[in-house]
Amino acid sequence: MERKNSPNHNRYSTLDLKWKDEYNTGIAEIDYQHQYFLSSIKRITTVMMEKNEHAYCQRLFMELVYYAKFHFYSEENIMMHINYARLKEHQELHRDLIDLLTNRINSIDDNMDEYHKFVQFLLKWFVHHSMEEDKKIASSKEVTVVKPL
Ligand SMILES: [Fe+2]
């Protein structure tokens, strides 16, 4: 197990992985899934701090990619349900991230620095996408016709 003053511990402890109110879009289903997504990133960093096991980290990243696919599909269904005008553009952002994640995961070898950069990238993408793009879904005029699923 990594000690608290190890380089890996310091590296990951600087990442802010706590859920914040400002991440909420106002659509409960999306917010619930976003919380799970963030907690998955947190779990990966914990494993990276404690184990440094390449094969296991890669499996956890793959789990995250599968979850992202599920979440995007689910979010797109909500957009379809409300006839969201910007569905196609939003779908493209989702598709781009999945392509990027898949390519990146396959090219990471056992270099833990690469994993670290990957986690930083994911966190940045998550914060930007949920606060900028997903909030537009919640603030669109169509959302008022949403009935509980
Ligand atoms: Fe989205």
Distance from residue 4's CA to the centre of ligand 1 (Å): 35
What total number of domains does the chain contain?
Answer: 1
Distance CA 36, CA 56 (A): 19
Q: What is the pLDDT of residue 53?
A: 77
pLDDT tier for residue 21 given thresholds of 50, 70 and 90: very high
Distance CA 131, CA 2 (A): 33
Q: What is the DSSP string of 51-98?
A: T--HHHHHHHHHHHHHHHHHHHHHHHHHHHHTT-TTHHHHHHHHHHHH
Average pLDDT of span 15-44: 92
Distance from residue 102's CA to the centre of ligand 1 (Å): 17
Average pLDDT of span 69-79: 96
Q: Taking the complete model, does pTM exceed 0.75, yes or no?
A: yes
**Which domain does 141 fall in, by range?**
7-14+21-145
Distance from residue 105's CA to the centre of ligand 1 (Å): 21
Fill in the DSSP letter of residue 129.
I
Distance from residue 129's CA to the centre of ligand 1 (Å): 6
- Tell me the residues surrounding ligand 1 (ion) with CB < 5 Å: 75, 134
Domain CATH number, residue 138:
1.20.120.50
| pLDDT 10s digits, 95-144 | 999 999 988 888 777 777 788 888 889 999 999 999 999 999 988 866 65
